[in-house]
Structure 1
């Protein structure tokens, strides 16, 4: 069974307008992002302990179609139980806090967006599966700011959760506009703070991802938003994979549980690809995020089937995706150098779990 940890997010801005998105019933579907960077994690998840006769895995997820969908399908369709595990699902809004929780031993496996990949490259987690390729990260300026294109960001204030894929798209856009990050007043904010600051007009622009982009649009109206760009503007040079990562200590001590988890996740992948409408409904009920927002998010990402992940692992394509991302991390100072991706990608558990 999926056990939703009784955690409370410590968010600095408790705006009522974000309650639909941020007060979620055990979220972590995938912010992507999110894939994300500065959002506060839940305080302390339930300990990793057997529930009945099955071992429990503490899994970090985000409230989106990447992170939450596998969790709810795995529970509702019985895939976790079939694989011989229970999942204690813990909600996060971004990736870096998940890695902090893994370092403390509170989280065993986590969904992360592209922006937190640099932490895996630093040896703080092993990538064990690829969920999707995305373009849901966007940079929006306010209409009143007068910003119309990337170069107009010079001297302006931009809110962004640091260490996220939103920051990556922002940096690529600045480069495209002939600017450096130092040319812009970049303010590190958590997810809720970035959305609230944009809506309140306290920043000139924001770098954020779906479904929070839809929340902004609801609050201010599309006519008052100026979209500067998203991930797709930088394809094919840069691909933005969202991933499952495992705590290295947990992997070393309990590799069999990692393989069991991936077996169940592979089943959720098959199911969601064949039943997208149902997946949206299930995820909406689980996270309390509106179906409309989740559908828009699904339109902005490409779920990968198990064969494509296996092929990418085996033919080196995945290695290229992650190493290209590392180049961005080197540019923004998150990494000193590009680390060979085979140092932080572990493919055997997935390939064995899926019989590839």
Structure 2
């Protein structure tokens, strides 16, 4: 009896101890289970790792963008960078400086450039299939043809036999050709020297050429160095307006557009925001652009007076209703007349309207 009693008592103690231990473990398990449930309701360690990787921020996409150091060709890039529009769009933009459009197309052909700003004069290269126009930058009135006072040139017809400096493939050359036609001349009637815009300024100031065909703000630099009294202005874009409209634009490497349409869309969404911001904040834009390009503010302000910026909503409208296509096809007619092109290419072959319309809508437009 005593042996059985002792065994029973020991069994009771053991049972009680096991019961207490079970309750303690249950309580602890309940608390840990609540924490796990709140943070990871139904995820294993492996699943949680996958979620962390998925939610991790993506690295910005790097793109190479060509700009020209003036108010038209640099301002959207400067504003988009300064205001964080590129960052918000997930882009890391490497801005590359050029002085005219043709070298930008060469860089795109070699794969070194993805997107670029061009003036009206380089449009023929896009029409030839070397680029796709994706945005209108502005309507320009700053291209001019100047003659030196000492050259004796006072009218377009007086240019016969004279030496003229001009960066070929630019809007400056377009104004020159229109002027020659107005004066009853052909390009073969004059001595055209193909030099870059900086070289054209230097040559004109040094009287190495009789006339020059370039654009603002470089024309302002000539005026400052020589004085307006020593210059004869033969004409500018307004001389031939509204028969001819001179739209500047942004173009994309066709291969880049085909392979990475989503990145082009990201760029345009940032561009739309920058474009509308600069229109509403002209003084700030001029200041930011001056610091970036090292072009004096007064020169950029004078350039602003020779252009018409277009709101993104209007650009989208021009893209949709065919206005933009007509403008560029009209430029092509000049290129055909001047021998740059053999025929007018339908605008829809080299103008991609859909990406801009979508970008404008995504940015909150109508």
Name the TM-score, length of structure 2 as normaliser: 0.83
104, 123, 139: which one aligns with 1:98: 104
C-alpha distance in 2 between matches for 1:185 and 1:129:
35
Residue ranges of structure 2 left out of the alignment (5+ in a row): 1-57
State yes or no: 1:53 paired with 2:59.
yes
Residue by residue over 1:237-256, the C-alpha shift from the partner in whole angstroms, topping out at 9 and shown as x without a partner, is 11000000000010011000
Instruction: Report what 2:263 is aligned to.
Output: 257
Query: How many residues are treated as equivalent by the alignment?
Result: 306
Aligned counterpart, 1:131:
137
- The CA distance in 1 between the partners of 2:291 and 2:321, in whole Å, is 38
Aligned equivalents of 1:164, 1:62: Cα separation in 2: 12
Show the counterpart of 1:214: 220
Aligned residue number for residue 343 of structure 1: 349
Does residue 83 in structure 1 map to residue 89 in structure 2? yes
Tell me by how many angstroms 1:107 deviates. Answer: 0.2
Matches within 5 A, 1:1-356: 53-355=59-361
Give the Cα–Cα distance (whole angstroms) in 2 for the partners of residues 77 and 202 of structure 1: 44
Partners of 1:83 and 1:113 lie apart in 2 by: 26
For 2:265 and 2:244, the matched residues in 1 are separated by 29
- Alpha-carbon distance between aligned partners in 2 of 1:238 and 1:257, rounded to the nearest angstrom: 33
Where 2:169 maps in the other structure, the secondary structure is: coil
* Superimposed CA distance per residue, residues 33-58 of structure 1 (whole angstroms, 9 cap, x where no aligned partner): xxxxxxxxxxxxxxxxxxx8111110
Structure 1 unpaired stretches of 5+: 1-51
Rounded Cα–Cα distance in structure 1 between residues aligned with 2:65 and 2:264: 11
Alpha-carbon distance in 2 for matches of 1:67, 1:182: 32
Q: Tell me by how many angstroms 1:333 deviates.
A: 1.1
Partner of 1:15: none
**Which structure's residues are more often helix, by fraction?**
2
SS for the counterpart of 1:67 is: helix
Root-mean-square deviation (CA, aligned residues, Å) is 1.1
C-alpha distance in structure 2 between counterparts of 1:187 and 1:151, whole Å: 18
Distance 2:332 2:129 in 1: 13
Deviation at 1:308, TM superposition (A): 1.2
Deviations 1:2-27 (A, max 9, x none): xxxxxxxxxxxxxxxxxxxxxxxxxx
Residue 193 of structure 1: how far off its partner (Å): 1.2
Counterpart secondary structure, 2:209: coil
**Counterparts of 1:135 and 1:186, CA distance in 2:** 22
For residues 354 and 304 of structure 1, the distance between their equivalents in structure 2, rounded to whole angstroms, comes to 13
What SS does the aligned partner of 1:169 have? helix
Bigger radius of gyration among the two: 2
Question: Matches of 1:333 and 1:187 in 2, distance apart?
Answer: 17
Structure 1 length normalisation: TM-score? 0.85
